[in-house]
Amino acid sequence: MRALILRFSSLGDVVLTSCLFEPLREKGYEIDLLTFKPYGNLFLDDDRVNVIETTKENLLKDLKKLKKSYELKIDLHKNLRSYLVRLILGGSWRSYPKESIRRRLSVHFKLFRKPYYVPEAYAKSLKGIAEIKNPRPFIKVSEERVKRFRELYGDYVVIAPGAKYEKKRYPHYWELSELLIKEGFNVVIVGDKRDYELSRDFPGINLCGKLELIDVLAVIKGAKLFIGNDSGLLHCARAVRTKAVQIYGGTHPTLGFSLYPNEGIVFCKCIDCQPCDIHGKGKCPINYKCLDISPIKIFEQVIRILN
């Protein structure tokens, strides 16, 4: 039996699809994942899934690479593009409760801010096929990759200061990095080329923009702890089972991307104006009060975890 999963982007959402891999494999399914470049690189070491990478421009052409017959087809994107793919491929499809309207209303009305976790929502796409009691993302990374970074950097903490939008970027990673180095830990900074511009003067080992995604996973897996924003790399830490510290800015756990308690610690002031946007877009008119969290306070929790 074969299963097809659609999730084109973005980084964190694609990572979270991995919570379905093991349950599907246990039920005897071979898995194809259709996603955009470069996200397929995440699964280079994971033998549970066959990745079909495409681009927005080549999507329709690349549909020819798919198997002619799937016993199970799952749309985890649920946008106009994925609906088009569903129409072209035909057949019966499963999806998940995206709660788009409720999540958008939560931006304006506190009444709609309720607990919601994307892995649990994804798991509901397998209702009647597999019961997933505690869905968690998990991506396999070869021990050889991880060992290489541990040998290079010893006992280290990973910091990921970037996020697509300014409202989601905690402004005090420089101070956190310095505090950790004084405590005796090496600090490794990860992200893309844009994140390098944010962090080029940070104390620590800056790998932003220098690694493929699979090696970013390996760096995070080899770390004692991951510290980051509500962004895609945070979910990479979850997927390699590295304890994490998640710092919220203009978004909010009600949107579905919060850590579970056994995955680490969440810092969210949860003031009345959080979330101010479903994605954290735009500028803040009140000087980013949601991100006004003392680096000392975060550092104390970090040391508690590390000890």
Q: What's the mean pLDDT when you consider all of the chain? A: 96
Q: What is the CATH number of the domain that holds 180?
A: 3.40.50.2000
Final residue in a domain of this structure, among 79, 111, 126: 126
Confidence check: pLDDT of 142 > 90: yes
Q: What is the pLDDT of residue 285?
A: 86
In a domain, 104, yes or no: yes
Does 121 share its domain with 155?
A: no
Residues 6+ apart with CB under 8 A from 67: 2, 4, 32
In a domain, 133, yes or no: no
> What span, in angstroms and rounded, lies between the C-alpha atoms of 77 and 83?
9
Does 117 share its domain with 160?
A: no
Instruction: Quickly state the pLDDT bin for 29 (edges 50, 70, 90).
Output: very high
Does 114 share its domain with 157?
A: no
Final residue in a domain of this structure, among 111, 126, 141: 126
Does 164 share its domain with 298?
A: yes
In a domain, 132, yes or no: no
Residues 6+ apart with CB under 8 A from 117: 256, 258, 260
Q: What is the pLDDT of residue 283?
A: 87
Q: What is the pTM of this model?
A: 0.96
Q: What is the pLDDT of residue 307?
A: 85
Confidence check: pLDDT of 172 > 80: yes
Q: What is the pLDDT of residue 136?
A: 97
Tens of pLDDT, residues 266-294: 999 999 999 999 999 988 888 889 999 99
Does 198 share its domain with 252?
A: yes
Q: What is the pLDDT of residue 55?
A: 96
Does 178 share its domain with 302?
A: yes
Q: What is the pLDDT of residue 296?
A: 96
Domain count of the chain?
2
In a domain, 183, yes or no: yes
Domain housing 85: 2-126
In a domain, 156, yes or no: yes
Does 292 share its domain with 167?
A: yes
In a domain, 9, yes or no: yes
Does 92 share its domain with 218?
A: no
Confidence check: pLDDT of 67 > 80: no
Beta bridge partners of 73: 4
Final residue in a domain of this structure, among 92, 111, 126: 126
Q: What is the pLDDT of residue 115?
A: 96
Does 156 share its domain with 274?
A: yes
Does 114 share its domain with 9?
A: yes
In a domain, 268, yes or no: yes
Tens of pLDDT, residues 210-258: 999 999 999 999 999 999 999 999 999 999 999 999 999 999 999 999 9
Percent of residues, the chain, with pLDDT higher than 70 = 100
In a domain, 139, yes or no: no
Confidence check: pLDDT of 68 > 80: no
